[in-house]
Structure formats: structure tokens, C-alpha cells
Amino acid sequence: MSERTVAVASRVGLHARPAMIFTQAVAASGVPVTIARSGGEPVDAGSILFVMSLGVPSGEEVTLAADGPDADRVLDELVELLATDLDAETP
């Protein structure tokens, strides 16, 4: 099992739009991924309800975990996504 830890960069944390973008990326990856707050139980990272229920604020670290042949690549991509302010307006 591969794991990565990353601080959530979005200014509203992992809620609404950032959670939707993140869970869509997880679903598109085809790899089962879990996400957990420090000391918390991991939840299905592909479920927007589970992800939003974590209540992760901006700047808090989360741990992502996945298993399988593409796990490292998928986790690297998801870490890059969470390390980006997904609330920033795109030109």
C-alpha cells in the first residue's frame, strides 16, 4: 500500500468545489483511494459525501492511500491536485 501526506491548499479547505474536483479525479483514476485526517479513520476518497464529511480546513494535512500497480502515479497526481488552490479563479 502506498501513502502520501499533503496539506490542503484550497482556501475553503476540502469542501464544495475542491471536494468535487478531487473526488472526480479519484473516480477517473480507476484506483481505490482513501483519505484521512491526522489520527482519523480513512474514508473512500471517491465519495464526495465522505470527503466533505471529514471537514478538512485549509492548511490541514491529510493522508492518501492506495494499492495497486498505478497507486504511486495516482497518489502523486492527487497530491499535486490538493496542493493547488482549487478555489482560485481560472482566467
15 flagged as catalytic: yes
CA-CA distances (angstroms) from residue 84 to 40, 67, 68, 74, 88?
Answer: 23, 24, 25, 16, 9
Catalytic residue among 10, 13, 15, 82: 15
Using DSSP's 3-state secondary structure scheme, residue 36 falls into strand
E strands in the chain: 2-7, 33-37, 43-44, 61-66
- The catalytic site residues sit at 15
